[in-house]
Amino acid sequence: MPKLSEEHKQQRIQQILMAAMEVFKRKGYEKATLKDIVEEAGMSRGWIYLYFKDKIEIFEALILDLDQQIHDFVSTKKSHHQSAAKMLRAFIENYKETLLAVDESIYPAIYEFWISGWRDPRAKEFFMNRYEKLVQLFSNLIHEGIEQGEFRPSIPVEDIVKIIMSSVDGILVHSLAFGVKTIDANQQVDHLLQRVEELLNLS
Amino acid sequence: MPKLSEEHKQQRIQQILMAAMEVFKRKGYEKATLKDIVEEAGMSRGWIYLYFKDKIEIFEALILDLDQQIHDFVSTKKSHHQSAAKMLRAFIENYKETLLAVDESIYPAIYEFWISGWRDPRAKEFFMNRYEKLVQLFSNLIHEGIEQGEFRPSIPVEDIVKIIMSSVDGILVHSLAFGVKTIDANQQVDHLLQRVEELLNLS
């Protein structure tokens, strides 16, 4: 194989991840194969094996990429001096958009992968790591809001973050299982936001 | 096969469901086989086929059996003239006990089955049906509380029930994925209860 520049390599990886995203959206996690990803990417199998050992590695890279988008979202808003309250509101309200097309999103595959990994220590570690990083990111955001005098939370900050995270997953899982209309998902998001603002004692 | 009395038949079915429960707790849904259930029940395969076509049918019967326990829980409390507020509190607080040993419970198998069924119209219908029945049960309970002057909810009753249901599943799914301690599951249950009592304007 020819030696690729770092930039070229990153381009290839993004190309693989984009193809994988399409495949996982279409087929879910279990039914997607490396062959599907190879075909979607229009690359030879060899190119893909250069960067990823198997389907699991591709999927994990995809999730880390999505998490990076959350981190970038927070960083961008911060660099625009947006208040923590506004950022948190934007983050939670953003789920309404996700819910609009949740059936065709990557979420069914994420939950499939997640749940099939409960009995697998490696997958468990991956998700634990991810959970702790997200708790940290949002805890930091809230602490900054406290320092700026925006919030005076009545309970520990980490508890609030954990409530947000399990509530969001509850709404997403129910939307997928029963449909966004059946569960009144938008209203549930609004109530979650209201609940969070109460817990933070938004001033 | 000899003809069995209705009572004897129900006994056999319960015996199969109890064996299936043990197998699904131990192996989850996907990895459990009809053979495992046959062995655990100590019956011949023929006996089981008399009542159930496949693993899916056994699992669905098991879930309906668990739902019956929720219905019975509400009926028993009603017959003891327990207030709707106390019943609702008992129902939500009961999850703390479930969470103590959630890894060894039937929940991992339920979520596995649930999520593998998202793309299967038959499974989807089964779960939709189940969701609507549970929403109905708890909506009725809250309406009785309103009539008794216990609650003056600030939002539609069904919305409150749907929030309870997605919150509970969010806490359960996160407990399984990250551990009850990591997510402070008990505290999350307490906060849910507080939230629900606020939405109901408990008097």
CATH number of the domain within which A48 lies: 1.10.10.60
Q: Nearest residue of A to residue B114 by CA position?
A: A177
Query: Tens-digit pLDDT profile for chain A (203 aa)?
Result: 566 788 888 999 999 999 999 999 999 998 999 999 999 999 888 989 999 999 999 999 999 999 998 899 888 888 888 899 999 999 999 999 999 999 999 999 999 888 877 778 888 899 999 999 999 999 999 999 999 999 999 999 999 999 999 999 999 999 999 999 999 999 999 999 999 999 999 97
Task: Give the whole-angstrom CA distance, residue B169 versus residue B138.
Answer: 16
Selecting from A115, A158, A170 the residue whose C-beta is nearest the C-beta of B111 gives A115
Distance between CA atoms of residues B160 and A171, nearest Å: 13
List Cα–Cα distances, A129 to A133, A202, B171, in angstroms.
6, 30, 18
Q: Of A66, A71, A62, A86, nearest to A137 (Cα)?
A: A71
Q: Mean pLDDT score of chain B, rounded to an integer?
A: 92
Provide the b/e sequence for B44-73 (b: ≥16 CB within 10 Å).
eeebbeeebeebbebbbebbeeeeeeeeee
Say whether both A5 and A102 belong to one domain. Answer: no
Neighbours of A65 (CB within 10 A): 15
Whether residue A41 is found in the same domain as residue A108? no
pLDDT higher than threshold 80 for residue B2: no
How would you class A76 by CB atoms within 10 Å of its CB: exposed for 0-12, middle for 13-18, buried for 19 or more?
exposed
Q: Is position A144 within any domain? A: yes
How many CA atoms are closer than 13 Å to the CA of B165, on its beta-carbon side? 26
- Specify whether A93 is located in the same domain as A167: yes
CATH number at residue A171: 1.10.357.10
Kindly determine whether residue A159 and residue B184, on different chains, have CB atoms separated by under 8 Å.
yes
User: pLDDT value at position B197?
Assistant: 96
Global confidence as pTM: 0.92
Cβ within 8 Å, pair A178-B28 = no
Structure tokens given for B23: 């197998």
Q: Which pLDDT belongs to residue A77?
A: 80
Residue B193 structural domain: 83-199
Å between B107 CA and nearest CA of chain A? 11
Judgement on whether residues A150 and A194 belong to the same structural domain of the protein: yes
Query: Would you call A146 helix, strand, or coil by DSSP?
Result: helix
Q: How far apart are CA B196 and CA B203, in angstroms?
A: 13
The answer to whether residue A77 is domain-embedded is: no
Q: What is the pLDDT of residue B5?
A: 86
Question: Residue A163 and residue B116: Cβ atoms within 8 Å?
Answer: no
The model's pLDDT over B142-201, given as tens digits with 9 standing for 90+, comes to 999 999 999 999 999 999 999 999 999 999 999 999 999 999 999 999 999 999 999 999
Residues A29 and A118 in one domain: no
Task: Answer whether residue A137 is part of any domain.
Answer: yes
Pick the residue from chain A with its C-alpha nearest to B135.
A183
Question: How many angstroms away from the CA of A35 is the closest CA of chain B?
Answer: 21
CA distance A166 to A99: 16
CB contact under 8 A, A191 and B127: no
Is B61 within a domain?
Answer: no
Question: What pLDDT is attached to residue A19?
Answer: 96
In a domain, B4, yes or no: no
Do A124 and A194 lie in one domain? The reply is yes
Name B56's Cβ contacts closer than 8 Å, sequence gap at least 6: B123
d(CA B62, CA A123): 28
Taking alpha carbons only, the member of A171, A41, A180, A172 closest to residue A110 is A172
In a domain, B5, yes or no: no
Domain for residue A70, yes or no?
A: no
In a domain, B154, yes or no: yes
Residues 6+ apart with CB under 8 A from B146: B152, B153, B157
- In the block, which residue shows the tokens 């304007």? B201
Q: How many domains does chain B have?
A: 1
* Stretch (H or E) spanning B143: helix B121-147
CB < 8 Å to B112, chain A: 115-116
- Please tell me whether residues A29 and A99 are part of one structural domain: no
pLDDT value, residue B1: 56
